[in-house]
Each structure stands twice: as structure tokens, then as C-alpha cells.
């Protein structure tokens, strides 16, 4: 692969998509895959969870569609979970974290129900996505970044730029 594959994961509202979009805007050779949108556009939805107010993704179908892209390299996967993606595909897992009071306001602004907000805040408090990343990938490739404002976003993307430069130096 000439380019690495990156997962950007985190609780809904933490800033995953903003990070992925900003990174890809600086590096247009990468392809941003917002899994929620990609699954809908490519027929990978197998149902709807009323309790969570969210679509249920057919993970097997999703992985089958993404495999050729992952094998080529240069994808930035943006989703609220990461453990379904084979470790052999991934070079870096970025877990975006956010202060709970800021996250709460972001979720309210999205119109989430109180139950959905509570579930996501609890997930953030318990570091669920960070632990999932650390359990499913080599801890050396898992990075935790905080995202509460635009300055932090810019600093995080600068760090990802440095990581990419190091990866390119070591792999090409």
C-alpha cells in the first residue's frame, strides 16, 4: 500500500466527521468513508433499532464492499465503532474524545432524545470506544485525541499530518 488506512472513531457528537473531513481536505489522495452514509448508499442497512433511533448496519455486507478499498489503502473510516474492521486493514485508530458537557450540548443540538443522549454520554464517561479500540488493535496504533473546539481540531489534524509523514517515511 502506498497510503495507510485510518479509522477515526468516537462517541456520536465527539467530532469524528469533522476530523475526517479536515484530514482529507489536507490530503485529497485519501478517501473519506462516513460509514453511516456509505451503508445507506450501498444497501448495507438491514433494519432499524427504534430504541436507539438508529439504522442497523449489515456488517458482513459492509466489510465485503470495503475490502477492495482497504486493500488499496488510503481510506479514512469514520464511524462510532471500530472493532468490526479487520486489524490487517488498519494502520492507525484515532479515538476522538470530548468533554461531557460539550458533548451533551452537541447532542441536544442534533435533536437526540434524552435516552440517546444519556446512552452516548455514559459511553463517553466509561471510555467504551477507547477500550474497544485498545482491545481489538495493537495498542501502538491507537491514539486518543480530545476535541472540544476548533483549535483542538487543528492541533489534532497537525498531529495526524506528522503521523502520516512518519508512516510514509517508514513505508515507501
- Say how far apart CA 148 and CA 48 lie, in whole Å: 30
What's the pLDDT at 67? 96
| Backbone phi, psi, residue 137, to 5° | -135, 160
Question: Which one-letter DSSP state was computed for residue 88?
Answer: G
Ordered by start, the domain boundaries in the chain are 7-152
| Cβ(29)–Cβ(3) below 8 Å | yes
pLDDT in tens, 140-161: 999 999 999 999 999 999 999 9
User: Closest Cα partner for 103 from 16, 43, 33, 164?
Assistant: 16
pLDDT in tens, 39-94: 999 999 998 888 777 888 999 999 999 999 999 999 999 999 899 999 999 999 99
11 annotated as a binding-site residue: no
9 known ligand binder? no
Is 74 part of any known ligand binding site?
A: no
What pTM was estimated for this model as a whole?
Answer: 0.93
For the chain, what percent of residues have pLDDT higher than 90?
91
18 known ligand binder: yes
Report the percent of the chain where pLDDT is more than 70: 99
For residues 20-33, average pLDDT: 97
| CATH tag, 7-152 | 3.40.50.300
Q: What contacts 128, CB < 8 A, 6 or more positions away?
A: 11
Look at residue 126 and tell me whether its pLDDT is greater than 80: yes
73 in a known ligand binding site? no
* Residue 50 known to bind ligand: no
Q: Could you give the C-alpha distances from 172 to 50, 70, 133, 164, in angstroms and in order?
A: 47, 17, 26, 12
Please tell me the distance from the alpha carbon of residue 151 to that of residue 155, in angstroms, as a whole number. 6
Amino acid at each position: 500500500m502506498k497510503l495507510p488506512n485510518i479509522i477515526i472513531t468516537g462517541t456520536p457528537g465527539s467530532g469524528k466527521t469533522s476530523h475526517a473531513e479536515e484530514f482529507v481536505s489536507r490530503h485529497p489522495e485519501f478517501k473519506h468513508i462516513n460509514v453511516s452514509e456509505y451503508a445507506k448508499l450501498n444497501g448495507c442497512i438491514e433494519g432499524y433499532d427504534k430504541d436507539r433511533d438508529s439504522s442497523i448496519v449489515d456488517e458482513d455486507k459492509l466489510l465485503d464492499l470495503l475490502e477492495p478499498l482497504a486493500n488499496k489503502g488510503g481510506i479514512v473510516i469514520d464511524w462510532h465503532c471500530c472493532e468490526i474492521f479487520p486489524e490487517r486493514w488498519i494502520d492507525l485508530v484515532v479515538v476522538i474524545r470530548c468533554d461531557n458537557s460539550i458533548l451533551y450540548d452537541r447532542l441536544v443540538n442534533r435533536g437526540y432524545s434524552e435516552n440517546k443522549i444519556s446512552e452516548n454520554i455514559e459511553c463517553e464517561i466509561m471510555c467504551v470506544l477507547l477500550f474497544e479500540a485498545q482491545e481489538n488493535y495493537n495498542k501502538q496504533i491507537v491514539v486518543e485525541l480530545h476535541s472540544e473546539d476548533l483549535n483542538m481540531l487543528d492541533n489534532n489534524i497537525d498531529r495526524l499530518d506528522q503521523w502520516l509523514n512518519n508512516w510514509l517515511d517508514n513505508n515507501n
